[in-house]
Amino acid sequence: MKEDIELKRSLGLWSALALVVGTVIGSGIFFKQGSVLDSAGSSTMALLAWVVGGVITLTAGLTIAEIGAQLPYTGGLYIYMEKIYGRVLGFLSGWMQIIVYGPAIIASLAGYLALLLVNFFGLGEAWLIPLAIFSMILIGGLNMLDNRLGAAFAIITTLAKLLPIAAIIIFGIFYGHQGAIGQTITQVHQSSGTFGVAVLATLFGYDGWILIANLGGEIKNPQRILPRAIVMGLVFVLVVYTAVTFGVFNAIPAKMVSKLGDNTTIYLAQQAFGTIGGRLLNIGVIISIMGCMNGKIMTFPRIMYAMAKRNDLPFSKQLAYLNPKTHAPMISTVVILVIAALMVTFSNADYLSNLCIFTVYCFYIAAFIGVFILRRREHGNERPFSTPLYPLTPIIAIAGALFVTISQIFNDPLGSFVSLGIVAVGLPVFYLVKKYTNQSNEI
């Protein structure tokens, strides 16, 4: 009898913690300073937006950690939604992540990485798409090997990306003289939105923390390690992001930050450390994005694999294939990368990823409410991890998620409708696959 091939439980606390930090700290903290400021209107409100975004993310992480400790399976949000609300909502949360949300984020990160590489090496724009696709293939290939290699890469890139971040914090706080608090910009962009949109922009920077839950089936003692990795990782990121933002506004006038936009941190490095410093920061950001891409490419195929194991997708047998030697979901990884490559080639993946953040938070709201449902359903049973300050923490998470989703609906109603429409497309797919599976079983 052929032995079933399963995912390997080989990831410890440091690997899980590096994946949380490495997946969250990518391009957002480097590229979002200008857009957050434009929406917030002042350096004080922009700094507050990063803090509020971090608090929302931390309360969300504490809430999900309780659910994840009780349901430590590969698939993360997909499994949580199914166990709490049933097959349909579970499928839709997984569908949203593997068809648009995951590939779009990978594509946008690859696009940012390609842009930095083109600028760093002085190449022409014709290299943008080839470099983006090549970077996805390279990191995707790494994740088709033993999962410990992907985890080791996450640890290395996480440590490397902290060096330029530390340089920005130290220079900005100790050598800046602008005054981080109280600066205002005289002209707020027409399309910038409100404080709620500013908070939403910071959530792009904090995004990715839940992806470690997709590796629940590969973490040693997940009931203990998973919540610790989520909480410790998010506290660290919140402190780092607040310090970076304070340093940026202390070193550069708010009006200049608004004008520089995506180039704010590069400009800061050049002013602080000269041309060589700017190039070194570029290298740091490149490593940062590579580490973030590694975390996304490592985790999203696990969602597709988990769905395929349940026969929820077309071609489930193929998508559930694991390499006998490395135990990696190779076919699912290839499919995710193909979708991401199409996005980076033919569409604005960054815009798609922004819309999908809104959609993810719609599902997050349902997941946060789910902690109340699980407590009532499992009343009297021992929990491996309990959300601190319950029920205040999940209530804050729910209120924060509602705040940013409603702000996005008012700011971009059409985009929000399109985002939800993409999710709705999954319904006929679900019922067609279910119908086909039932017919096959009858035969």
Q: Which residue has the tokens 């985790």?
A: 299
Q: Are 46 and 249 in contact (CB under 8 A)?
A: yes
The C-alpha atoms of residue 172 and residue 269 are separated, in whole angstroms, by 10
- What is the number of structural domains in the chain? 1
Q: Is the dihedral of CA 268, 272, 273, 275 positive or negative?
A: positive
The C-alpha atoms of residue 237 and residue 53 are separated, in whole angstroms, by 11
What is residue 185's three-state secondary structure? coil
Q: Are 131 and 113 in contact (CB under 8 A)?
A: yes
- Tell me if 3 is assigned to some domain: no
- Tell me if 1 is assigned to some domain: no
The CATH number of the domain holding residue 400 is: 1.20.1740.10
- Tell me if 237 is assigned to some domain: yes
- Tell me if 43 is assigned to some domain: yes
Q: Which structural domain range is residue 404 located in?
A: 13-442
Q: What is the pLDDT along the chain (443 residues), one digit of tens a residue?
A: 344 555 455 567 777 777 777 777 766 677 777 778 888 888 888 889 999 988 888 898 889 888 888 887 766 788 889 999 998 999 999 999 898 888 888 888 898 888 888 878 888 888 989 999 999 999 888 877 766 666 677 677 777 777 778 888 888 888 766 665 656 665 444 444 578 778 877 887 887 777 666 565 566 776 777 778 878 888 888 898 888 888 888 888 878 887 777 667 777 777 777 777 778 777 877 887 887 888 788 888 888 988 888 888 888 888 888 877 777 788 999 999 999 999 888 876 556 666 677 888 889 999 999 999 999 988 777 788 788 889 999 999 999 888 878 877 887 788 788 888 888 999 999 988 888 776 555 54
The C-alpha atoms of residue 133 and residue 350 are separated, in whole angstroms, by 15
Burial of 247 (0-12, 13-18, 19+ CB in 10 A): buried
- Tell me if 2 is assigned to some domain: no
> What token pair was written down for 104?
């779009």
Provide φ and ψ at 259, rounded to 5°: -70, -40
- Tell me if 197 is assigned to some domain: yes
- Tell me if 8 is assigned to some domain: no
Query: 391: cis peptide before it, omega within 30°?
Result: yes
What is residue 47's three-state secondary structure? helix
Which residues are CB-neighbours of 1 under 8 A, at least 6 positions away? none
Q: Are 298 and 7 in contact (CB under 8 A)?
A: no
Partnered with residue 184 across adjacent β-strands are 42
The C-alpha atoms of residue 437 and residue 443 are separated, in whole angstroms, by 10
- Tell me if 401 is assigned to some domain: yes
